[in-house]
Amino acid sequence: MLRKFCLFLFISYVCAKHEIYDGWGVYEVSVENENQLLTLQELIEEMTLDVWSYAHLSRPGIILVPKLKREEFHNRMFVAGLPYVIESDNVKELLDLEDIRLETAATNNRANYSDLGLDFETIHRFDVVDQYLVDLAAAHPNVVTVMSAGRSIEGRDIKYVQISTTNFQNHSKPVVFVESLLHAREWATLPATLYAIKRLVLDVTERDLVEDIDWVILPIANPDGYEFTHTNQRFWRKNRARGFLPMDRCMGVDLNRNFNVNWGTASSNNVCSDTFHGRHAFSEPESTAVGNIMRRYSSRLAFVADLHTFGSMILYGYGNGELPANVLLIHLAGVQMAQAIDAVKWPQNRDYTVGNVVAILYHASGSAGDYGQLSALPFGMSYTFELPAWRNNQGFNGFLIEPDFIEQVGFETWEGLKVGVRFALNQWRQHRRSL
């Protein structure tokens, strides 16, 4: 009886939580030609809609539309002759379901923070991960050093770990940098960095990866935004910067448009946009922290992975369509990573796509991936991963988390990263030999 009552209370609490998304729709929109693509892009900008996945001639776009804008959206789609499918008529229902499933998974595994580190049953909050990094370094002082890259706007410490058998003192090893959660709502990226940490510190089966490489891993690049997705708005993407005119109506800077590389040339100047680039390059402490990490290790930086969701893509620079000098090797390593992931992925998820970000998605300036490419060695490689959206026959999930997929996404991404990192290590050795 008591249990039932609690369950009832729990569900009603959960159900009140995502009130702001009540009646919001998720749409899949197909475009048949360049004209329609342009029309759709204009419409999205004018209505400041939240694009979950950009439309392309070869694949439909996915767009979140607020309840109060849905009628206008339908009308404009009709006028433009753009066909759409409603993936969800009320995204709040999906969010309630996500909460219940994650909470159940977490309850079943409470206190499973053991010798093998954090469990992969749920998506851990900032405080848990933050403490975990400290504890991990304390328990493995010969391999792990916890570092601070700076503080977020709300004062959270942006911690990362150095993993090295030689305490970063042996400069004949290359450095690899992997980060997740630069975009707050992209929860599936967190298990990927946590899984990498686990396989490099706690559950080591491939010693060469630990011994031959110095690793830098940052699990939560945007802690304020990330916490906000847990407490307020699940689909928040940016950081929590405030103080923008007019009157603080909108908040947040898209950190992945705020890096100092072609800044402001292919991003939004509208504070309310999800790709708002900020007042100037590196205006935000979080992007500055990540940029500082890249520069700090740049003399040995051979491989960078900035993890995002979703789309099953491995993208490289530059976001203005220019290609890095070593693009053929970047592409080759990208394809090898994609094949390694595809070989172990869930069958219902699509194969990975690999390419320059402009060819595959869109123009984008000020991205972490581009800044990583510029910071890395001349033969270094920097990638933006779009991890898969889990899909099954019940349909669509987008950014939503399926508990069973948490460990899988960590595992399969690691299978890909390993291949890319070994490729980069090989490049490093060849270049050192030729010096």
Range 91-120, binding ligand NAG (CB under 6 A):
109, 111-112
Closest separation between CB of residue 157 and ligand NAG, Å? 28
* Residue 92: contacted member of ligand NAG, Zn ion, none (CB under 5 to 8 Å, by partner type): none
Taking the least distance from each CB to ligand NAG, the nearer of 137 and 425 is 425
Closest separation between CB of residue 117 and ligand NAG, Å? 12
Asked if 257 is part of the footprint of Zn ion (rule: CB under 5 A), the reply reads: no
Taking the least distance from each CB to Zn ion, the nearer of 256 and 288 is 256
* Residue 112: contacted member of Zn ion, ligand NAG, none (CB under 5 to 8 Å, by partner type): ligand NAG
For residues 267 and 367, what is the distance between their CA atoms, to the nearest angstrom?
10
Strands 214-218 and 157-163: antiparallel
Instruction: Determine the interface stretch with Zn ion among 8-16, 164-172, 295-303, 307-315 (rule: CB under 5 A).
Output: 307-315
Asked if 308 is part of the footprint of Zn ion (rule: CB under 5 A), the reply reads: yes
Q: Is 127 helix (H, G, I), strand (E, B) or coil?
A: helix
For residues 340 and 343, what is the distance between their CA atoms, to the nearest angstrom?
5
* Residue 232: contacted member of ligand NAG, Zn ion, none (CB under 5 to 8 Å, by partner type): none
Taking the least distance from each CB to Zn ion, the nearer of 183 and 391 is 183
Q: Is 412 a catalytic residue?
A: no
Convert residues 133-172 into a mask of x (bound to ligand NAG by CB under 6 A) and - (unbound): ---------------------------------x---x-x
For residues 222 and 356, what is the distance between their CA atoms, to the nearest angstrom?
25
Quick one: which H or E segment has residue 261?
none
Length reported for the chain: 435
Of 259, 432, 417, which is closest to residue 333 (Cα–Cα)?
A: 417
CA dihedral 239, 241, 245, 248 (to 10 degrees): 90
Burial of residue 246 (CB within 10 Å: 0-12, 13-18, 19+) is exposed
Closest separation between CB of residue 73 and ligand NAG, Å? 45
Instruction: Determine the interface stretch with Zn ion among 27-35, 264-272, 308-316, 322-330 (rule: CB under 5 A).
Output: 308-316
Asked if 212 is part of the footprint of ligand NAG (rule: CB under 6 A), the reply reads: yes
DSSP class per residue in 229-249: HHHT-TT--S-----PTTTT-
Cα of first residue to Cα of last residue in the chain, in angstroms, is: 75
Taking the least distance from each CB to ligand NAG, the nearer of 106 and 327 is 106
The active-site residue out of 386, 402, 407, 415 is 386
Distances from the Cα of 165 to the Cα of 70, 170, 205, 296, angstroms:
55, 9, 15, 19
* Residue 212: contacted member of ligand NAG, Zn ion, none (CB under 5 to 8 Å, by partner type): ligand NAG
Distances from the Cα of 315 to the Cα of 153, 166, 273, 339, 384, angstroms:
29, 32, 23, 14, 5
Asked if 185 is part of the footprint of Zn ion (rule: CB under 5 A), the reply reads: no
* Residue 430: contacted member of Zn ion, ligand NAG, none (CB under 5 to 8 Å, by partner type): none
Which of 18, 124, 173, 183 is in the footprint of Zn ion by CB under 5 A?
183
Active-site residue list: 386
> What is the contact surface with Zn ion in residues (CB under 5 A)?
183, 308
